[in-house]
Amino acid sequence: MTHISARIDFSSPQGGATPRLRHAFGTPRAVLVAHELADVRPLLDAVQAAAEKGSWCVGYLRYEAAPAFDAALAVHAPDGPLAWFAVHDDALPWLEDASAATARVQWAETCPRPAFGAAMDQIQRAIADGELYQVNFTAQLEGEWAGKPEEGAAQALFAALQRAQPGGYAAFIDTGDTGDGQLLSVSPELFFDWQDGQILARPMKGTAARGATPEMDAAQAAALRASPKERAENVMIVDLLRNDISRIAEPFSVQVPALFHTEALPTVWQMTSDVRARTRTGTTLADVFAALFPCGSITGAPKVRAMQMIRDLEAGPRGVYCGAIGVVRPGEPGQGIRATFNVPIRTVTVQAGGLRCGIGSGITSGAVPDAEWQEWRNKQQFLARASMPFDLLETLALEDGQLRHAADHLQRLAGAAAHFGIPWDAAAVQHCLNQLAQAHPQGLWRVRLLQGAQGKPRAEAFAMDASPAQVQLQLADRPLMDAHGEFVRFKTTRRAHYDAFTPTGPGVFDTVLYNAEGEITECTRGNVAMQLDGRWVTPPLACGLLPGVGRALALRDGRLTEAVVRLDDLPRVQGWAFVNSLRGWLAAQIV
């Protein structure tokens, strides 16, 4: 048997003090695979029988397994096994990945903006014609390793994905050559948890981007909870799940104890609701899947018509994405089995050297194409974060052994570490800086303070010339499309989006950037100040920019106030300045 292994790191669906389900699995006793629709239900029966005898079964169903339960559910032809489970005699302790391997992946879209807009038009026409209420439209991102992948690159990517999307229902499954290669799922969505005759489903529908400040973040969450469009999107799927679960539920037992709950993920807010019920005596695992699969949150409503439209709009099979990944294990003595499955969103498939990751959203009558496209970009941020290793970065001035504004820089670095889930040791960081300062007691130095994913700080110093009295700035020739992304709001070594605007003209110090809405944001190496109507202003963080230390100091002492400045306002600007903590306040001219 080829090398097969798995790791499961699932949140407790019931919450409270129940620990996470974190286990590793070695070589299985058996592998169960279904290639034909007729084999899917018998495979699930075999999984249940194995778990009833004490085994742990880890595996998945592809989205294309749906017609095994209802021939009316339309899908593309599958390009791999419809269902796959490894049967293990027991579960092993979870071990943190100690490999030094790194993973670098370059991703490309398969659904460009014009094609997305055309699909949106078709969906809106179908909704207007009364054919359906919602369609979950998706597309695959295709990835390739940047250079030859190191041994253990897939495991390293999984670890990076978990750091980028912690919590939830994460699974790493290596099927060897018996299934779909390697599955790296960090899904935040519970499909169902079934134990002791009780079933819980937690559909996730409704999304908002995280805010740039705590106040803006709270406002985003409140707006998501109050949004008629997002609430309608959520309740449509809740109604669908209630109907699906009623097929296996005892009469009058279906309840919705939690509705419109907002969950904070690193890059987005998501809205979830709980649907609970008591299952009828004699219900089997295959019966549960027949009633619920695929989860309505990734189809739309009504499910049959939505899946027909999905097949017409999407270019090929979804695969494990939008199917189900989970574990079936023995329950308490005398209580049968326990089955917990995620909805494999935020899931990467690694096979034959290539990588795939699906992204999608629910389209309703209130959907706006630009907003839905931005939602796709927001959901991709976890992938961008994990696919290219980066360090947190602070740049400080060191003059004659004294670090300028060190406390402000360390506060900002601590905030970035918290955001990215990187360990933070204030004493270790301070010790690192103190050592560097002691080694450079004289002169003017530019200090780069770096902190990697494991939390270990390091610092380096470079000789720095005195700041010029005035600098020249140029205006960008196009908007910065990722102005609201986390690699703008937090300072890191991930700077490709800034490097694309490096000045090209002779003598130009930096480039003034603006966002897709035509609002001035910042420069590539510092913030920008403008004299407008007799006062000095700087763009607010909501425009999409780094909260620079020099900017914060100028706001604190009253030299600057915040104001939105648009491209149309530039003829009225009476003066310019470049601002950061390294160079201070530099008078500037636009060339």
pLDDT digits (tens, 9 = 90+) for 52-101: 999 999 999 999 999 999 999 999 999 999 999 999 999 999 987 766 67
H-helix segments, 13-60: 40-52
What would the pLDDT profile of 523-538 be if each residue is shown by its tens digit?
999 999 999 999 999 9
pLDDT (tens digit, 9 = 90+) per residue, 9-28? 999 998 777 889 999 999 99
Q: What is the mean pLDDT of residues 134-149?
A: 93
25 with 161, same domain?
A: yes
pTM for this entry: 0.88
Active site residues: 189, 205
Q: Residue 540: what pLDDT?
A: 96
Domain boundary among 463, 481, 506: 463
Reply yes or no on whether the pLDDT at 320 is more than 90: yes
Q: What is the mean pLDDT of residues 183-194?
A: 97
pLDDT of 203: 94
Six-digit token string for 388: 């290219």
What is the CATH number for 202? 3.60.120.10
Q: Are residues 404 and 357 in the same domain?
A: no
Same domain, 475 and 332: no
Q: Do 70 and 213 lie in a common domain?
A: yes
Which pLDDT does position 335 carry in this prediction?
A: 72
What pLDDT sits at residue 99? Answer: 64
Give per-residue pLDDT as tens, 410-430: 999 999 998 888 899 999 999
What is the band of 585 on the pLDDT scale with cuts at 50, 70, 90?
very high
Mean pLDDT of all residues in 341-370? 93
Question: Quick one: 478 and 497 in the same domain?
Answer: yes
pLDDT value for 100 = 63
The verdict on 396 and 383 lying in the same domain is: no
Same domain? 280 vs 406: no
Average pLDDT of the segment spanning 362-389: 89
The verdict on 316 and 436 lying in the same domain is no
Mean pLDDT over 443-471 rounds to 94
pLDDT above 70 (res 487): yes
**pLDDT value at 453 more than 90:** no
In this prediction, residue 251 carries a pLDDT of 95
Q: Which of 413, 433, 463 is the last residue of a domain?
A: 463
Tokens representing 323 are: 């199917």
Q: List pLDDT tens digits, range 168-178.
A: 999 999 998 87
CA 49 to CA 395: how far, in whole Å?
60
> Does residue 368 sit in the same domain as residue 419?
no
CB-based burial, 429-450: b 16+ in 10 Å, e otherwise: beebbeebbeebeeeebbbbbb
Structure token pair of residue 171: 């699974």
Q: Is a pLDDT exceeding 50 seen at residue 358?
A: yes
What is the number of structural domains in the chain?
A: 3
- Domain ranges, residue 508: 470-590
Flag whether pLDDT at 1 surpasses 50.
Answer: no
Domain termination site, one of 365, 387, 409: 387
Tell me what pLDDT residue 583 has.
95
Q: Which residue has the higher pLDDT, 431 or 264?
A: 431
Mode of pairing for the β-strands spanning 584-590 and 470-475: parallel
378 shares a domain with 314: yes
Q: What is the CATH number of the domain that holds 495?
A: 3.20.10.10
Q: What is the pLDDT of residue 44?
A: 98
427 and 552 in a common domain: no
What average pLDDT does the chain have?
Answer: 93
Which pair of tokens denotes residue 429? 């960081």
Q: What span, in angstroms and rounded, lies between the C-alpha atoms of 513 and 507?
A: 18
On whether both 170 and 293 belong to a single domain, the answer is: yes
Residue 476: is its pLDDT beyond 60?
A: yes
Strands 105-109 and 134-145: antiparallel
Per the listing, tokens 């089955």 go with 339
Cβ-proximal residues to 357 (8 Å cutoff; 6+ apart), any chain: 107, 140, 141, 143, 321, 346, 347, 348, 349, 383
pLDDT in tens, 202-214: 999 988 888 877 8
Phi/psi at 173 (nearest 5 deg)? -125, 120
Kind and range of the H or E run holding 450: strand 444-451
In this predicted structure, what is the pLDDT of residue 190? 96
